[in-house]
Amino acid sequence: MSQKIQIFDTTLRDGEQVPGCQLSTDEKIIVARELELLGVDIIEAGFPISSPGDFLSVIEISKAVKEPVVCALTRSKKDDIDVAGEALRYAKRGRIHTGIGSSDIHIKHKFNTTREKVLEQGVWAVQYAKSKGVEVEFFAEDSGRADLAFLAQMVEAVIAAGADVVNIPDTTGYCLPELYGKRIKYLYEHVSNIHKAVISVHCHNDLGLATANTIAGLANGARQAEVTINGIGERAGNTSLEEVAMIIKTHKDLGLHTNIKSERIYAMSQLVSDLMRMPVQPNKAIVGANAFAHSSGIHQDGFLKNSENYEIINPDEVGVPCSSIVLTARSGRAALKHRMELLGYQTTKAELDVLYENFLVVADEKKKVEDEDLIALAAQMPILV
Ligand code: KIV
Ligand code: ZN
């Protein structure tokens, strides 16, 4: 039977940490409402102790959404947890996401302490967060580089302390998919109480592997994926929601499903890009301007014969209005003929040959040939007018 993956969206927390992408509370509410319609299960709404604005946003998002769990980030500190508990008071279902470093690099160079002390602090934080009457998720920061036996010890201890969800972040985007998948598998094999909690994957994209690592984690038993719209986030970003949702939907063989209404993905991507003033790279999977655009002659010809030749997803499925054929100097006669027909011109083979020669001259000059260029070319061929 297909297993449900919880989608934990952190666009408004990890995503919003990107310089220049800060949103006002009103803008965050707009995004949160759309995330609810998109079908995400958990919205990480902010880091309440970090600023009065973030505190207010968590309160207002808690009031604005009904279905998703609203989550607030904290360090393993009393004040952070108190403020997060306060910010979540209107949430129908609230969650505190608390945690501490788990790798020796973080333990030594960030906290200047010992494994024993971080373990003790993490357990304390989970117990204290639990006392706020909300769900508790624990993050073992920099899990991707942590000693595996110590990570397993930490996961076991925080679950025993009451963590409902345990997040295994590859904070620095260091892991290879196989390595990250093996880490999750190891935890399932070595943590005796692991089935009492949901294991979550949270990957960063420093080596361009965030999505691959997330899928490897899910394939090895994790049941929550932490993602952002358009993959925005610290440095090279986080795992992108649209990629994970569409991989799961496209590869039924994974035996997984999500609640994401995929036809809302494109509009969601545009909204976040507009509000955060962060353009989507044209070749971005699923939502980039070129994701459903075909520009070389061989591809265009194959696509026009049957779209499945060159598309594994129907654009409708993600809310993209239609695929496009971009006319360039690499385009062939089939694409030119097709576009001329759309513009109302029927061409014989001989006419098309002449038109194509003229078209190539314009294409070499302009890189991309627009409809008005074609109409002008047709006007020079009396037979087509
Ligand atoms: O990348 C990370 O480790 C984080 C944690 C705060 C969950 O964002
Ligand atoms: Zn992160």
Average pLDDT over the chain, rounded to whole? 97
| Atom 7 of ligand 1: nearest residue by CA position | 139
Alpha carbon distances (Å) from 5 to 126, 164, 247, 286, 363: 23, 15, 12, 20, 47
Please, which contacts does 306-314 make with residues 24 or more away whose CB atoms are closer than 8 Å?
312/250, 313/246, 313/250, 313/286
Closest ligand, as measured to the CA of 72: 1
Per cent of the chain over pLDDT 90 is 97
> How far is it, in rounded angstroms, from Cα 22 to Cα 3?
35
Q: Which amino acid is at 258?
A: T
| Residue to substitute in 11, 14, 74 for testing ligand 1 pocket (most ligand atoms within 8 angstroms of CB) | 14
The stretch 22-33 carries a mean pLDDT of 97
Cα 151 from Cα 169, distance rounded (Å) = 11
Judge whether residue 195 has pLDDT over 80.
yes
Distance 13 CA to ligand 2 centre (A): 9
Is 70 exceeded by the pLDDT of residue 384? no
Average of pLDDT values for 356-373? 96
Q: How far is the CA of 145 from the centre of ligand 2 (A)?
A: 14
Q: Note the pLDDT tens digit of each residue in 225-259.
A: 999 999 999 999 999 999 999 999 999 999 999 99
Question: Cα(97) to centroid of ligand 1, in Å?
Answer: 10
Mean pLDDT of 341-366: 96
pLDDT digits 0-9 by tens, 159-188: 999 999 999 999 999 999 999 999 999 999
- Mean pLDDT for 110-132 is 98
Q: Choose one of 44, 175, 202, 227 to mutate for the ligand 1 pocket test, by most ligand atoms within 8 angstroms of C-beta.
A: 202
Q: Decide if pLDDT at 385 tops 90.
A: no
pTM for the predicted model, two decimal places: 0.96
pLDDT for residue 368: 94
Residues with CB under 6 A from ligand 1: 14, 73, 139, 141, 167, 169, 171, 202, 204
Confidence class of residue 205 from pLDDT cuts 50, 70 and 90?
A: very high
Q: Is the pLDDT of residue 39 over 80?
A: yes
ipTM of the prediction greater than 0.95, yes or no: yes
